[in-house]
Amino acid sequence: MTIKESTREQWSSRLIFILAATGSAVGLGNIWKFPYITGENGGGAFVLVYLLCISLIGIPIMMAEIMLGRRGRRNPVDTMRLLAAESQRSPRWAWLGWIGILAGILIMSFYSVIAGWTVDYVYEAAAGHFVGLTAETASAKFKGLLNEPWQLLFLHSLFSFMTAFVVARGVKAGLEKAVVILMPALFLLLTILVGYAATTGYFMQSLDFLFKADFSKLTANSILTALGHAFFTLSLGMGAIMMYGSYMPNNASIAKTTLIIALMDTLVALMAGMAMFPLVFANGLEVGSGPGLLFITLPIAFGEIFAGSFFGTLFFILVVFAAWTSSISLIEPGTAYLTENTRLKRSTAAYLISFIAWLLGVAVVLSFNTWSFSFPFAGTVKTDGLFDLLDILTSTFMLPLGGLAIAIFAGWVMRTEFAFQELNLPNKWFNNWYFTIRWISPALVILLFLHSLGVF
């Protein structure tokens, strides 16, 4: 094997690891994606399936992924190869790492385009452009942005550069400082927004929408979307969390850490929903209006509240940062692979991987305005444009299947004693986890897939 000597960095403490992994998990997936897919998929029943996926599939697989990363202490390709060898299994498991690196680049290509929109909204808020917005003018403003390819390209490039810049500097210098202040600030601001939403008179209706399960609204596709989103929002199934685990100190508890991360991630998503849906109902907006939901609802609110331009600017700055602490984890696996296996410096590797994602992102930018297409994909799933295609390909297929492979590896391929050593749990808890990762999580992923693809 051609792995450079492991003189690797480590997070300074368990708290920093929790913050960094939460920074990866909490991002556009929580604040932008969760509310709009919940709207598109009919509310409560979708949220329930999503929460079940987080608890029965996401949490056990996150423990497995962190555990593999910390034991391998390398990029995902070499970690999988090394751990397979340690248990006398096929080196082909390295493929799982490769697919992860690819998924990270594919997700990054559209993630930075959407993050670019949030950068634009920082300016819009600061310039006072939210004042007096109505449902119509807010929608028109958002559509106007999508029709400006050059502006979108500039924003996409700016965000791609910001990501590469941090990754180039390495985990400590680049990342630790950002997360310590930003995560708590985001939390606080979301709380203020939920408080404001509670004054609109539509809060109860929103809670009903979010938490009252009406299973007649649940389609086979919604179930698969909920499963995919559980992986996306927790950054699972592609080696990002494995990478972060590889920098984790040996003495930190993987189980406790995982629970905290999953809890915070879920809380932020639900709070984003509770902040946005009252505004949707109060302004007669469409719940299923798609990816523009965040960019249409919240500006209306900021236009109305006291010191709205100030709070609006602050809010969108925090969303940019939430996206930033996530995007760095998307290109970290590829960057670490190149740094650990070639003569490239870490910074060159980071810029190279970002450049590849950026190129594909240029096509995504165009797909929002000048270049649109739609075609059927995998039977029942229909895609609408390149963004949709990449989103469905990665979130709905690559991440859950990557997660399934991680579960199978941790539960069936790796020797039990290694997993036991690494997780360091009391027997009873280890057995519960082991049973779940061997049987429940894989079976659920497979069943949900077969059901959604119309097999039963």
Which residues in this chain contact ligand PFF in the complex, by CB under 6 A?
A: 24-25, 27-30, 104, 107, 232-233, 235, 238, 240, 326, 329-330
Q: What are the distances in angstroms from CA 292 to CA 57, 123, 318? A: 29, 17, 18
Distance from C-alpha of 392 to C-alpha of 33, rounded to nearest angstrom = 13
| Closest residue to ligand PFF, based on beta-carbon distance | 29
Give the residue with the Cβ less far from ligand PFF, 79 or 329: 329
Give the residue with the Cβ less far from ligand PFF, 237 or 411: 237
Tracing tokens 């290509």 back to the chain, one arrives at: 109
From the list 111, 103, 85, the residue with the least C-alpha distance to 28 is 111
Give the residue with the Cβ less far from ligand PFF, 33 or 141: 33
Give the residue with the Cβ less far from ligand PFF, 28 or 425: 28
Give the residue with the Cβ less far from ligand PFF, 82 or 269: 269
Name the amino acid, one letter, at 371: W
**Minimum Å distance from CB 160 to ligand PFF?**
15
Q: Are 124 and 315 in contact (CB under 8 A)?
A: no
Query: What share of residues in the chain are helix, strand, coil (percent, to 5)?
Result: 80, 0, 20
The dihedral region occupied by 16, where left means phi > 0, alpha psi between -120 and 50, and beta the remainder, is alpha
Q: Are 162 and 325 in contact (CB under 8 A)?
A: no
**Minimum Å distance from CB 231 to ligand PFF?**
8
| Cα four-point dihedral sign 292, 293, 299, 300 | positive
Q: What is the dihedral of CA 192, 195, 196, 201, to 10 degrees?
A: 170
Structure tokens at 25: 């998990």
**Minimum Å distance from CB 104 to ligand PFF?**
6
**Minimum Å distance from CB 26 to ligand PFF?**
6
Q: What are the distances in angstroms from CA 138 to CA 129, 132, 178, 187, 335? A: 10, 9, 31, 25, 39
Tracing tokens 């106007």 back to the chain, one arrives at: 144
**Helix H or strand E encompassing 382:** strand 381-384
Give the residue with the Cβ less far from ligand PFF, 309 or 394: 394
**Minimum Å distance from CB 330 to ligand PFF?**
5
Give the residue with the Cβ less far from ligand PFF, 282 or 328: 328
**Minimum Å distance from CB 178 to ligand PFF?**
15
Residues sharing a CB contact under 8 Å with residue 141, sequence separation 6 or more, in sequence order: 124, 129, 133, 299
Residues sharing a CB contact under 8 Å with residue 170, sequence separation 6 or more, in sequence order: 9, 346
**Minimum Å distance from CB 119 to ligand PFF?**
15
**Minimum Å distance from CB 156 to ligand PFF?**
16
**Minimum Å distance from CB 307 to ligand PFF?**
28
Give the residue with the Cβ less far from ligand PFF, 133 or 399: 399
Give the residue with the Cβ less far from ligand PFF, 97 or 308: 97
Structure tokens at 180: 């310590």
